[in-house]
Chains A and B, each alone.
Chain A
Amino acid sequence: NAGVTQTPKFRVLKTGQSMTLLCAQDMNHEYMYWYRQDPGMGLRLIHYSVGEGTTAKGEVPDGYNVSRLKKQNFLLGLESAAPSQTSVYFCASSFDRRPEAFFGQGTRLTVV
């Protein structure tokens, strides 16, 4: 039972490049989330999904897009990376609205 798996674990991008972060969960959870974590700031929600085919904006959605084509996968896209998007990104999932979530190991992204 892997839980929540994020791919890749590390990435360096040049400004303007695009990339997709993949999150996969094997717990049959309905809810999935993408957070970013920056020094001196709490985890901030980027986008979330309450089920297959649904997505919604969180606290800091600008510059990101998401898709949930399959229940077990939640993709986070950066169309044109900016240095301000340098951060550690965490995916999480939960069974229902209760925010007792399971988190992935994180993706450390650096935009130069």
Chain B
Amino acid sequence: EDQVTQSPEALRLQEGESSSLNCSYTVSGLRGLFWYRQDPGKGPEFLFTLYSAGEEKEKERLKATLTKKESFLHITAPKPEDSATYLCAVPIPESGGYQKVTFGIGTKLQVIP
């Protein structure tokens, strides 16, 4: 069964304390992996797409990496405004060419000043 698992479920960091979030997946024939940020009471906001093992993408204090089995979202010197839930998602091909997207339950990050 295709699955996406994120860990930890919650993470509390001091401002400036770097860490990583994990997204592991069991999907045959990976066709990309996506990271989203979701603030409380809002819809997810797209961050990154990774398509192949070894690929990296960066945005401000965030860097996403991809291996054949998992992806990491590295947060360097986080600030309180980085507090949010981070979701990863994987597209799974369906018949007719559509790609169903399976989301993980997310990691809730809290950055303390």
- Known interface pairs A42-B87, A50-B98; A106-B43 also in contact (CB < 8 Å): yes
Chain A interface SS verdict (over half): loop
Report which of B34, B42, B102, B105 forms a contact with A100, defined as CB distance below 8 A: B34
A105 with B87, Cβ < 8 A, contacts A41-B105, A50-B98 known: no
User: Chain B: how many interface residues by the 8 Å CB criterion?
Assistant: 24
B80 interface residue (CB < 8 Å to A): no
Cβ of B105 and Cβ of A45 under 8 Å apart?
no
Name B's interface SS.
Answer: strand
A62 contacts the other chain (Cβ, under 8 Å)?
Answer: no
Q: Provided the pairs A99-B89, A100-B34 are in contact, do residues A90 and B44 lie with their beta carbons within 8 angstroms? A: yes
Residues of A within 8 Å of B, CB-based: how many? 24
Q: Is the CB of A106 within 8 A of B42?
A: yes
**Interchain CB contact under 8 A, A56 and B43:** no
Query: Within residues 88 to 105 of chain B, which ones have a CB less than 8 A from any CB in chain A?
Result: 89, 91, 96-105
Q: Does B29 contact A (CB under 8 A)?
A: no
CA of A100 to CA of B10, assembled, Å: 24
A4 contact set on B, CB distance < 8 A: 43
Partner of B98, one of A41, A42, A48, A101: A48
Identify the A interface with B (CB < 8 A): 4, 40-45, 48, 50, 56, 58-59, 90, 92, 97-106
Instruction: Please list the 8 inter-chain residue pairs (A to B) with the smallest Cβ-Cβ separation, ordered nearest first.
Output: A103-B43, A42-B103, A43-B103, A99-B101, A42-B105, A103-B44, A100-B46, A90-B43
Which residues of B pack against A, CB within 8 Å? 4, 32, 34, 41-46, 49, 87, 89, 91, 96-106
